[in-house]
Structure 1
């Protein structure tokens, strides 16, 4: 699909392509920025934004959709579909309509284009993310008879991490060494998240994309080792201050080798990362942030309980709806 395919109707065009020209990419990024400013949250996940920014090069299984209207081809919507190589995993999609263009039924052509592309790939269903549970998106999901299949909670806590949680016997803690630990970390990540549809499938390119991001700080990426071998990690992240609020810390991802589960390593790693984010000892590299966020699936009650004991409460939710690759129930 290097040249792209398009569907048109009522002066609406949806271009579908695995590669975007710089002007198309920039138009999509403007839509995302406008939506974030109005909605107060990102309309597309970090992974989706990374793939959009590198969309001048094709990526296996990823299709970009740019929706335009009128004779001047004004960009009014963006979508992204990823069809995994595994035939058992469902394709996943994220869509956003520019705030100034909402209320005009422009979400439907994007959904139709995504479903059609998934059909061409031989898939019967698509999972659509609704970030923040946006009411208009939930209404659109209902029109397509989509089923709610996943709830991803964003939890937050305020205040410093004061409790000292000891590491299990035989465990040592150090920070990640880019270029040296990459392969071992990818191995551990795949083990720790073998059940997870996104995190467990990370490739070297996925890791490299994030290591190249301006926010990456190896001092906030902790590795737990046993006899020199990584068996757990806590990767933290800092979101810079904006006009909407102060900087936020994030428990970006915590993973533990299945052989170490039940030892208390996950809780100790989480506490170590929280101390780094919220502590006030600048000489030790602590960031002194007031608020920390994290994401956890609602169907992982054990993890939810751990985070609740650490003072986290639900801030908002992202929902995933599964739609059949067929005509909508109503239009």
Structure 2
């Protein structure tokens, strides 16, 4: 079923945010990635608002850089709006487009929509959660967490020359094979730091023994909604040149100590399901898989032999 009275108009992240927030509260996870919103804010991807006859926005789509994101307002679901919006996004992407799209969490409607449009699953993403009671007891400061010899920990300093470019450099190296995180630019990083949740005290930088470059980092994303505080392990990155020193586990210990200082009611992280080494590290720290998301590629087109 398709909704016939839906119109797509160009929009902005600010206009789309209310629907994204409502969907996140209803579904338990954000329906659009941070990377997609950053790209839309910079004009690198198109953001479309899907409106009904009375100009009520009922869905949001983001298209570009080989990816699409689509979210339907929870109050407007079940009326074929998703089918109509997806058809419009595919039409605008062109007949030969090869696109990636996420179905976030346990979302049978998104799964049915994408499979019906001849997409196929290609990748998984786990959201893992930790019982806050398992965080370090007391007021253990991240700065006193034991580190391998020669490595030093400090927090990000906006006024320190080179901190931003150093973070981008080590992030690029640490996530060289990651299709989203590894593409973060200096401009992207600036936009991320402009977000209301950003706190430089939640971004820890690890200096290498020679002091010439960063060996890694860990970043906590803290969200507060009234009495509810959620701390998310936004990213841990280790430069490949410094692998094998136990830095990943040490940075995770730093992360948990910092999270404990926020006294959160929820503790989460996201990790690729195929990254078995990282999943095992998080499970050893007490994290368990909370939800599974699936990335889809499509539309699948029949092969033509000559």
Deviation >6 Å, runs of 4+: none
8 Å CA contact retained: 2:46, 2:64: yes
Q: Which residue of 1 aligns with 2:52?
A: 69
1:178 maps to what in 2? 158
CA distance in 2, matches of 1:99, 1:66: 15
For residues 55 and 121 of structure 2, the distance between their equivalents in structure 1, rounded to whole angstroms, comes to: 34
Displacement after TM superposition at 1:82 (Å)? 2.5
2:8 corresponds to which of 14, 27, 50: 14
Hey, what does 1:241 align to over in structure 2?
225
In structure 2, the gaps of 5 or more residues are: none
Over the aligned positions, Cα root-mean-square deviation in angstroms equals 2.4
For CA contacts below 8 A with separation 6 or more, give which structure has more relative contact order. Answer: 2
**1:27·1:75 contact (CA, 8 Å) conserved in 2?**
no
Q: Distance in 1 between matches of 2:94 and 2:278?
A: 36
DSSP-derived class of the 1:116 partner: helix
Q: Give the Cα–Cα distance (whole angstroms) in 2 for the partners of residues 13 and 168 of structure 1.
A: 58
Q: Describe the SS at the equivalent of 1:132.
A: coil
Q: Tell me if the contact between 2:19 and 2:60 (Cα under 8 Å) persists in the aligned partners.
A: yes
Q: State the partner residue of 1:88.
A: none
Provide the secondary structure at the position in 2 that maps to 1:303. Answer: helix
Aligned length: 290
Hey, what's the Cα distance between the residues in 2 that align with 1:155 and 1:38?
A: 19
**1:226-267 deviations in Å (ceiling 9; x for gaps):** 22221110011111134xx72111111000000111210011
Aligned to 1:86: none
- The SS at the match of 1:267 is helix
In the TM superposition, residue 48 of structure 1 has moved relative to its aligned partner by 3.3
Structure 1 regions of 5+ residues with no counterpart?
A: 1-7, 84-90, 279-285
Partner of 1:133, secondary structure, is coil
Residue 175 of structure 2 corresponds to 193
CA–CA distance in structure 1, aligned partners of residues 19 and 265 of structure 2:
30
Mean Cα displacement is larger for which, 171-180 or 297-306?
Answer: 171-180
Q: CA deviation at 1:217?
A: 1.2
Following the alignment from structure 1 to structure 2, what is the Cα–Cα distance between the partners of residues 125 and 104?
27
SS of 1:247 mapped into structure 2: strand
Q: TM-score, normalised by structure 2?
A: 0.87
Report which stretch shifted further, 109-118 or 262-271: 109-118
User: In the alignment, is the contact (CA less than 8 A) between 1:232 and 1:255 conserved in 2?
Assistant: yes
In the TM superposition, what are the counterparts of 1:199-210 in structure 2 within 5 Å? 199-210=181-192
TM-score after normalising by structure 1: 0.81
The residue aligned with 2:286 is 311
CA contact (8 A) 1:241 1:247 kept: yes
Q: How far apart are the structure 1 equivalents of 2:13 and 2:245? A: 46
* Distance in 2, Cα, partners of 1:26 & 1:124: 28
- 1:41 is aligned, of 5, 10, 29, to 29
Any conservation in 2 of the 1:65–1:110 contact (CA below 8 Å)? no
> Shift of residue 166 of structure 1?
2.8
Q: How does 1:1-331 map to 2 (within 5 A)?
A: 10-15=4-9, 17=10, 20=11, 27-51=15-39, 54=41, 59-60=43-44, 62-70=45-53, 72-83=54-65, 91-119=66-94, 124-158=97-131, 159=133, 160-161=135-136, 166-179=146-159, 180=161, 181-226=163-208, 227-228=210-211, 229-242=213-226, 246-278=228-260, 286-324=261-299
Tell me the distance in 2 between the aligned counterparts of 1:323 and 1:307.
32
Indicate if the aligned counterparts of 1:65 and 1:78 stay in contact, CA closer than 8 A: yes
Could you tell me how far 1:270 is from its partner in structure 2?
A: 1.0
Alpha-carbon contact 1:50-1:209 (below 8 Å) kept = yes
**Deviation, structure 1 residue 195:** 0.2
Q: CA deviation at 1:287?
A: 2.1
